[in-house]
Chain A
Amino acid sequence: MLSYFIRRLLYMGIVLFLVSILSFYIINLPPGSWIHNYALELEASGDIVDEEELKFLLHRYGLDRPLHEQYVHWIIPLVTEGDFGQSFEWGQPVWPLIEERLLLTMIVSLASIIFVYVVSVPIALYSAINQYSIGDYFFSFMGLIGLATPNFLIALVLMIIMLRVFGVTPGGLFSPEYLRAPWSLAKFWDMLTHLPVPVVVIGTAGTAGLIRILRAQLLDEFQKQYVITARAKGLRERFLIIKYPLRMAFNPIVSSIGSLLPQIVSGSAIVSIVLGLPTTGPLLLRALIAQDTYAAASMLLMLSVLTVVGVFLSDLLLMWLDPRIRYERGN
């Protein structure tokens, strides 16, 4: 068990190391750099760009050095001191810039995952028990629509409905008065009231997918011999379904976190851009376009940390739930 644990941790470390290299190189792959973009912009607006100053800036930010040196220059302080480097675009350290946004990304993602499970488990259970009923068809159809509609489109439609019916523009995670306020209970509550729209939008696709998987899984389990055994023992039908097939289906539910989490984080990025949420998504987009290397790489890395750690936790949960897996890994 302990060796499995250590192996997993080691593997996580390797994955994150690779992610850091990969994202750093991908961001630097396009020709030019933030400084060059900056110079181009200045030129476009008619300013004269001083060659000397350009060189000085390049040197100061270390952009004149080979890429692997730049990478080392970024990753070493990150690992040893938790220093994420400087953002060119914002002219300030990356960490304070993304700190709160990361927290909000986590909150939004977590809330979305909870939403996905709270909605999909009962619906899947209903659909499986009442297979081919009108309700089953209805949920299947709604699920299909949910799967087929791009997140941002749902966000747009929801915003239009809000605007037309209630006359409010939803968007953001906070009311204006709390935007810059320090964290307090009131601010937290304000955020909770703003959460439903983004959570519904981000969670729709995941919910639809999970209902599909779970329904099929439950139907599959209903046919299993152990269910018939339990029935032959004289168990009450409702008790039986909860104790056996649903419990069995929890396995794929938990392991689906592995695929759900990257999906949710992805979805939240684009939805945040449409809904103007102060999460990492919009900032990442800007950083990517502006080639703000350290900021972009740091955010990509942190988003990956979020997913990888989430998957790891779901794996631990799975071990706790399933004696077979515990048994396998124990040996």
Chain B
Amino acid sequence: MTSEPKGEVSRLSIDEPLNYEILSQKQLIWRKFKRHRVAYFCFLFLILFYILAIFAEFFAPYGAFTRDTNFLYAPPTPIHFVDEDGVFTLRPFVYKIVSELDLDTFRREYVEDKSEKFPVKFLIRAEPYRLLGFIKTDIHLFGVDEGAVIFLSGTDGLGRDLFSRMLLGARTSLFVGLMGLAVGFVLGLVFGGISGYYGGGADMIIQRMIEFLQSLPTLPLWMALAALVPPDWTPIQVYFGISLVLATVGWTGLARVVRGKLISLREEDYVLAAKLSGLKEGAIITRHLLPGFLSYLIVHLTLAIPHMILGETALSFLGLGIQPPAVSLGTLLQDSQNVQTVTINPWLLYPGAVVVAIVIAFNFLGDGLRDAADPYKHI
């Protein structure tokens, strides 16, 4: 380094041993994002959640439709590390659960039979299933031997394991959001793009259309659209139908963002400079305009997913969305419509907690991304 010729550069580099690195825009954003602790944590949490949902059958100890009529509305099974004699074992275990009829209230009570311990076994062979829909296997992450049960978050009124159903339901809810988003994204990009880039009459019409759609009360509109889905559709068809319903109403926000960004970017001097230097229109759009608001798109998308999830949950809760037997977090919450039942069996609300956690995580993630992507903000 010292052999460099004397001058501006050498003088700088002697004093400051190169503590600069050249980072690409992507690396910069990623670095800033990682420094946003909460957002980074939420990012990892969501990845974990998507993995759980994709391989739901593997992580679930039971099938989502497997009924155990001995355990209707059974509370979450307690997991123990220390037994009756106070001996600690690293491997968790459960006791056998027996149901007794309480003769005063005529309700079933579930109690532990502490005479026999059942260790929690990992990678256990149980109900067969198809991983990812085509790999035939019967290995589950965890489970207990025949004779005991392990319901991490209790069972529903039909004796189905709520934890397993939640994993499966989360898959539907997480992906219904993405599906709706993809459709809404295309709609928003196309309409917003036309509106912002061409302006004039097209802009006028599209803007009025958006204003019109935004002035409608969303939920009744969703309800009306969801009522459209014919009752004889298969769950998969309903699934797509609901995504479409969510998307038709949800694209307006994105279209506005795209339009606004395009209009303001169009006026930027560097775009004018690109035009003056004879760049073709396509190159201006892809090289100069798109990078300018790509980050906004990503942020907007991240923040739109929880909207979709909340929408699906609400519709399914009302019985207008995903229909049983298909499982989603919303349909699971249908079971908690009756206040009396929920008061007695509060674990029925756990799917709601999952919804809240997912939505919060997406919100933090979006906030973190927005801060990271903002070139004018130094964290």
Contacts and interface: CB of A to CB of B under 8 A. Distances in A.
A26 B217 CA distance: 15
B123 interface: no
A258 interface: yes
Interface stretch (A27-35, A84-92, A125-133, A248-256): A27-35
Interface residues of A, number: 50
Contacts of B218: 262-263, 266
A265 B217 contact: yes
5 contacts: A15-B212, A30-B228, A153-B356, A156-B342, A263-B218
A245 interface: no
B152 interface: no
A35 B48 CA distance: 50
B318 A304 contact: no
B346 A300 contact: no
Contacts of A152: 314, 317, 333
Instruction: Determine the main DSSP class of A at the interface with B.
Output: helix
A259 interface: yes
B339 A300 contact: no
A266 B220 contact: yes
Contacts, number: 118
Given A151-B314, A152-B317, A23 B212 contact: no
Interface string B350-379: 001001100110011000000000000000
A144 interface: yes
Contacts of A150: 310, 313-314, 317, 352, 355
Contact of A262 (B215, B225, B343): B215
Given A144-B364, A150-B313, 18 more contacts: A15-B215, A23-B224, A26-B225, A30-B228, A144-B360, A144-B363, A145-B356, A150-B355, A153-B356, A156-B342, A160-B346, A163-B339, A284-B220, A296-B224, A303-B220, A304-B215, A307-B215, A311-B215
Nearest to A32: B230
A288 interface: yes
Contacts of B355: 148-150, 153
B346 A30 contact: no
A300 B215 CA distance: 12
B362 to A, nearest CB: 9
B223 A31 contact: no
